[in-house]
Structure 1
Amino acid sequence: MSSSTKPYMIRALHQWCSDNGHTPYIVVWVNDRADVPLEYVKNNEIVLNIAYGATKNLQIENDWISFSARFGGVSRDIWVPVGNVMSIFARETGEGMGFEVEPAVEAVPERPTPEGDEQPDGDDPGPGGRPSGRPSLRIVK
């Protein structure tokens, strides 16, 4: 079984945006697997600026996208399963690509824990929710 092309497409479109002076944004389906500021979530979705200038330590791995960013002046660590990414697009032109949300049932390993961090006992996120219907892309301004 071959690996998903999704993380490769996300990395490629992120690089294309950066090379062309555009701002890459991702739309993420938020469930219990995504660690994002919940106060900015609407309809189980959040739009995140993933430009190098807006993030710190951005990593787009095959399973996770992680970085630190400021929300309301407060630095927050963001962890998003690649399977939860619904689209990536350039803010300035709207060009990009949409994806289906992938189920989290054993498809995405647990979030990596940095050395020295311990997770509390009984913190089992369980299988994530999945949106119903066809995926759609909205223009966000």
Structure 2
Amino acid sequence: MTSNRPYLLRAFYDWIVDNQCTPHIVVDAEFPAVEVPRQFVQQGQIVLNVSPSAAANFLMDNDALSFNARFSGQPMQVYVPIGAVLAIYARENGEGTIFSEPEHPQDDMLSEDDTQTQAEEREGSVEVTSADKETPEKAKKTSHLRVIK
């Protein structure tokens, strides 16, 4: 399946704009192919105002979003791959969402065998003790409901 990130990003963007709020996105500035004003990057991230009034020629598709904006009076073309978007939120109230982790392009190139191997490694890294196994069984035997007459 394709990533759900561009669909969720579009939905949150539309929802924020429809409610007369200002959409801001948090971008991983270290992500490959990101073109943002580097002088405003802090700790590898940048927050961008993507409201219709601030972002001219705004375009968002399944691969990236791009727009023209002014930063300290200087015009600039901004290009952000969808995988580099870490969050979208409304400036006025903070409503929005945070995406789990950056989706790097090389992640799409993993074969099913690699994915299965990684899943097995994650499962193998969790150590289950005998105490952990007993806890769910005890919870199933006792009921939290009481009979009231």
Sort the TM-score into its range (normalised by shorter chain): 0.7 to 0.9
Query: Runs in 1 of length 4+ with deviation above 4 angstroms?
Result: none
- Give secondary structure in 1 for the equivalent of 2:105: coil
> Does 2:28 correspond to 1:25?
no
Select the structure that is richer in helix.
Answer: 2
1:60, distance to aligned residue in structure 2 (A): 1.0
Q: Distance in 1 between matches of 2:107 and 2:66?
A: 19
Residue 65 of structure 1: aligned partner: 65
> Does 2:115 correspond to 1:104?
no
Q: Distance in 2 between matches of 1:39 and 1:85?
A: 18
Residue 114 of structure 2: aligned partner: none
- Give secondary structure in 2 for the equivalent of 1:16: helix
Stretches of structure 1 lacking an aligned partner (at least 5 in a row): 109-141
Q: Distance in 2 between matches of 1:104 and 1:68?
A: 24
TM-score when scaled to structure 1? 0.72
Q: Distance in 1 between matches of 2:44 and 2:55?
A: 22
Residue 77 of structure 1: aligned partner: 77
1:107, distance to aligned residue in structure 2 (A): 4.4
Q: Given the superposition, is the C-alpha separation of residues 85 and 102 from structure 1 closer, same or farther in structure 2, using an over 3 Å criterion?
A: same
Residue 138 of structure 1: aligned partner: none
Q: Distance in 1 between matches of 2:108 and 2:77?
A: 22
Q: Distance in 2 between matches of 1:70 and 1:22?
A: 20
1:104, distance to aligned residue in structure 2 (A): 2.6
Larger RCO, structures 1/2 (Cα 8 Å, 6+ apart): 1
Aligned-partner residue type, residue 14 of structure 2: Q
Aligned-partner residue type, residue 5 of structure 1: N
Aligned 1:100-139 pairs, distance under 5 A:
100-105=101-106, 107=108
What fraction of aligned residue pairs are identical, expressed as a percent? Answer: 41
Residue 54 of structure 2: aligned partner: 54
Q: Distance in 1 between matches of 2:79 and 2:7?
A: 18
Count of aligned pairs: 107
Residue 91 of structure 1: aligned partner: 91
